[in-house]
Amino acid sequence: MAQFFFRPFSFSLAVACRTRTATRPPQRCFSQSLRAPTGRPGMKEVMPTPKMKSDASVQSAQASPDISRIESHPFELLPATYIPPPFFRKPDSLKLKSILHYLKVQTVRRAWTSFQDFLLVLKSHYTSPSMEPNPGYFKSIFGERPFKIRPTDMVKVAKDLHKEMYESLAKRDISTIKQICVPGLATSLRARIASRPRGEKMMWELLSYNRPRAKLVSHRAFTLPGPDGTAIRQAVVRIASTQRLTRKNKEGQSIEGSGKRAYLVEYVCIQALSLGWEERPWRIWGTVQPTSEEAMDLMKTSGEIADWV
């Protein structure tokens, strides 16, 4: 996050967490204790529902603990998620050859990772059953399915959740935070609220959206072990904005150092779960940072991304 949110008397997702400094693209940034087990998210935590020979009502009752566990599971950022850095970030060298190589690498990475992400979403889409009663060949391929390739305007959803989260955090609105945030983030933000001095008031303002305009930079999906139709979808949206955070003491006077404008570029991750192929509402997962060269090297070493990318 930007420097504004690291100043005294300020809050943000970045302050509420400890950022991982070494491995992979930025992972769960709220607490090291919230990491999912290694490998595919939820693989070791969510077990398939055993087949029952009883009636449907008993089977549904047996499946409910799995569904509850999935909804409360602290998923990490999905494996091999690539967050592209600003395209014209300064390269290591200002020589023309180095600049051209940097731009070439960034172009290839963006194109290849976007293509891979699309294939993952497409796979989840075709894993879900056709909604046509008796689909023919054409409708079996192009017919409607419950898991959409692009279900909503994810940029608008991320902007709305981003704004609502910061406003709720300033107002101490814990019920809204629990509703719009994933469990790990909600717990972290509740702790931040509890640590504030009594009588102190905060006001967070979104003054404007700035350029570069908000953009979807990553959209990935996986099917998960568990009841049929269990899947996870994550999207990362880059949001540039001008914000202001004002803090007042119990006498109503502004606290020194607050109330200043700040220009921020945030990469907001939102997450939605599908249970029984019914997609649940989007929730805000947190913020991430652009993928560094060190993280790319680690992903190549682990085989998550091809060596030539």
In the chain, % of residues over pLDDT 90: 36
Sign of CA dihedral 249, 172, 158, 79: positive
Band of pLDDT at residue 138, cut at 50, 70 and 90: low
Question: Does 47 fall in a domain?
Answer: no
Residue range 189-226, pLDDT digits in tens: 999 999 998 888 999 999 999 998 999 999 999 988 87
Residue 85's pLDDT is what?
Answer: 86
Long-range contacts of 98-103 (CB under 8 A, 24+ apart): none
Please report, for residues 145, 222, 229, 238, 279, the alpha-carbon distance to residue 142 in angstroms, rounded to integers and kept in the order given: 9, 20, 19, 31, 20
Q: Is residue 48 part of a domain?
A: no
Let me know if residue 123 belongs to a domain.
yes
- Answer whether residue 112 is part of any domain: yes
Residue-wise pLDDT tens digits, 139-148: 667 778 888 8
Residue 103: its pLDDT value, please? 77
Strand-pair partners of 278: 275
For residue 227, is it within any domain?
Answer: yes
Pick from 46-50, 71-75, 136-140, 232-236 the range whose average pLDDT is largest. 232-236
CATH code at position 276: 3.10.450.240
Give me the pLDDT at residue 202, please. 92
33 in any annotated domain = no
pLDDT average, residue stretch 155-161? 97
Highest-confidence range of 36-40, 41-45, 47-51, 285-289, by mean pLDDT?
285-289
User: Sorting pLDDT into bands at 50, 70 and 90, what band is 96?
Assistant: confident
Mean pLDDT of the chain: 77
Q: Work out how many domains the chain is built from and give that number.
A: 1
Tell which residue, 226, 193, 238, 301, has the closest CA to residue 75. Answer: 226
- The pTM of this model reads 0.72
Domain of 195, in residue numbers: 3-27+81-302
Residue 102, in any domain of the structure = yes
Q: Which residue has the higher pLDDT, 111 or 74?
A: 111
Residue range 231-238: mean pLDDT, rounded: 95
Q: Is residue 200 part of a domain?
A: yes
